Structure 1
Amino acid sequence: MQISTLHQEQNKIIKILFSEYYEKAELDLPNDMELREFAYQPFDSETYVRHLSFSSPQELRQYILQNVPLHLYYSSARYQLPSAKEMDEKGWLGSDLLFDLDADEICEVKVRRFCPQDGYETLASNCNGEPPIEYAEITTECIMKVFEKALLIRDILKEDFGLNARIFFSGNRGFHLRVTCYEDCALLDPDDRKEIAEYFTSPKPPVIYEGNPGWSGRIAKGIEGINIDTQVTIDIRRLVRIPGSLNGKAGLMVVEIKNDKFEYGEWLSPFDGDCIFLPYVSAELTLFNNKYTVKRTYPIKIDTRIGVYLALKGLGKVKAYVR
């Protein structure tokens, strides 16, 4: 048993856990990775390090072990010179087609607020001159509702466009869909992609009749347009999370969903053991259908997967962990 008790900024222990994860992580990288721009957000930084280029998975792993990422991305676009500092100098060769679904756009997400001075929940937008700690509490029911929309988008892409999309859990509270594009699909410009986005968000078939193909039959059966982040679909230079990486907003893995089956649970976190978690708030919190009672300034021993999640949500800090 090894115990770590680091007391510097709150991210120290989490950074160690991320680093250990990336030593063995299986990152799902494109076959043409040498044509992709890579980027990451470091710990304790609000800005991204961009314009990186790697020729092999081994080269990328060596880099991220020396520069542990809070978030890790590669470009949806292929470039002649992906490491060029100016976008106009990269030489755009085409882009994959992306869709982004977030719980905020699909469900009524409950946002809880806590005053930082005493940790108690409040309805106010201001706590004696300080902004409250905000926490969007995502339910399993909500996540599964978003997943159903992701399956619908995938099916429509196949039925109406003949395109094959892969579905990925974002590592936080949504799903990404990605069509690996070549030739005409890759060369779609932002206006083309906007039309595709609007096909999903605002379908307007000339007639509505059950049994008809496309949106005509779907609307007749009560299926409505889908709320997506249209800017993600339109943007030909979008950065996408690397499957197998960790989402620094929750500490959960970005994973591909196969066989139309997805379970929202602790398995999405790669961490094991227990940690000592120091809460900033006093509340009963629900996560993965389990309830956790925390009290401000009172350290508790908790599953590391839960402690990391709550810390990254700003509800406390990981003071120590046992592995």
Structure 2
Amino acid sequence: MYRRGSSRRSALVRVTSRTRLKDLYQAYYSLRPSILLPQDFGRREFAFQLWEGDAYVRHLSFESVEDVAGYLAEKAPRQAYYSVAVYQLPEAPSMEEKGWLGSDLMFDIDADHLPGCEGATVSDECLEKAGREAGRLLRMLERDLGVKGEAFFTGHRGFHVIASCGWCSSLGARERRLIANYVAGRGVDLSRLFPRPRRGFDAAAPSPEDPGWRGWLARALRSRGGEPLRSLGGLEALERLLEEVAVHVDAQVTQDVSRLERIPFTLNGKASMLAVPVENPEGFKPTASLSPFHGEVTVKALADVDTRLMGARVALRRGEEADIPAHVGVALASMGLLALVGGEVVVRKSTGWGSI
């Protein structure tokens, strides 16, 4: 991947009740932060959501990383993406004219779809759960499909896992959906994987070395101290175990060959955290380094808030004002939970984030 940066390191924004989130984004992108792009970015479509309305500016292509950085500095978009697809003419207005050449495999894991996190405000605990799911998915792709993937925190509530390989780039929507259903454990027939003993015949016990789901469930049993299958209580217990091991991915995302992926080290307008690569998502810990916004801001709660985000605890009643760290204040303001009314924000070009 290519990187782009500049010499300026920080900027100061004094916050008032009239300060817009766009002002903070403008300060960040004017520093020309380092961004990551695929080597073949010249064949990718770029898309941006600006702050004026919900529409996206699409069908863009760029010849250099500097051109992308310049666009970000000029427009300070709310969202910034490139396509998982590679095209002959990425700037063409229709898929037929673009000339599809292939697509990366993309998987989407949302924290608010995980058990115990449904509909919850984004929190460190649920983001860490999503990270563990992403790590399990990476291992599953490599062990079962021979495909190496990369995990990226989306800057809001979950992870994208992107896999590039020769044979998978040409897969159609149906084949991609089958892969998504496989990692999610959909359609697994446990009665075939673990047949009941019959007279004169006793099925072999599952081994961690077994291929596919027999192996994954055997490893889950081993992690519990080698608990024997018969002690689990039949198929219902196996189904619960399957649910624990399965990766909760959105099949609609995986099957879409024209899906958009966030440009790493750009801001996610839904939470104002950075989309970043994560080498070891199972060890993911949300910290202030996920935000370029530092200092202290005065906020007014627009709703009851009680969460821990990027290492900072915030508990406020609706209408209450408080001084809180800028990185979490800007994030919660982006979610519509707080209003920024004062303080100073130091905007940093480099946050100190590194793939972990």
- TM-score (normalizing by structure 2): 0.77
Which runs of structure 2 are paired with 1:1-323 in the superposition (5 Å)? 4-8=14-18, 12-22=19-29, 23-109=31-117, 111=119, 136-182=120-166, 184-201=167-184, 202=186, 203-204=188-189, 206-208=192-194, 209-211=206-208, 212-222=210-220, 224=242, 225-259=246-280, 261-288=283-310, 290-322=312-344, 323=346
Residue identity opposite 1:219 in structure 2: L
State the alpha-carbon separation in 1 of the partners of residues 131 and 272 from structure 2: 19
CA deviation profile, 1:4-42 (whole Å, cap 9, x unmatched): 34544xxx4321221222223221101111100000111
State the alpha-carbon separation in 2 of the partners of residues 191 and 2 from structure 1: 50
Residue identity opposite 1:35 in structure 2: R
Check 1:85–1:6 CA distance in 2 against 1; reply closer, same or farther (3 A cut).
Answer: farther
Residue identity opposite 2:263 in structure 1: I
Q: Which has the larger radius of gyration?
A: 2
State the alpha-carbon separation in 2 of the partners of residues 320 and 271 from structure 1: 14
Check 1:230–1:58 CA distance in 2 against 1; reply closer, same or farther (3 A cut).
Answer: same
| Residue aligned with 2:53, SS | coil
Check 1:229–1:282 CA distance in 2 against 1; reply closer, same or farther (3 A cut).
Answer: closer
Match of 2:231 in 1: none
Residue identity opposite 1:210 in structure 2: S
Structure 2: tracts of 5 or more residues without a match: 1-10, 195-205, 221-240, 347-356
Check 1:137–1:221 CA distance in 2 against 1; reply closer, same or farther (3 A cut).
Answer: same
Deviates further, 70-79 or 312-321: 312-321
State the alpha-carbon separation in 2 of the partners of residues 137 and 268 from structure 1: 17
Check 1:310–1:56 CA distance in 2 against 1; reply closer, same or farther (3 A cut).
Answer: same
Structure 1: tracts of 5 or more residues without a match: 112-135
Backbone CA RMSD of aligned residues:
2.2
Q: CA deviation at 1:101?
A: 0.5
State the alpha-carbon separation in 1 of the partners of residues 126 and 115 from structure 2: 6
Residue identity opposite 2:26 in structure 1: S
Quote the sequence identity (%).
36
State the alpha-carbon separation in 2 of the partners of residues 320 and 41 from structure 1: 27
- Is 2:89–2:98's contact at 8 Å kept on the other side of the alignment? yes
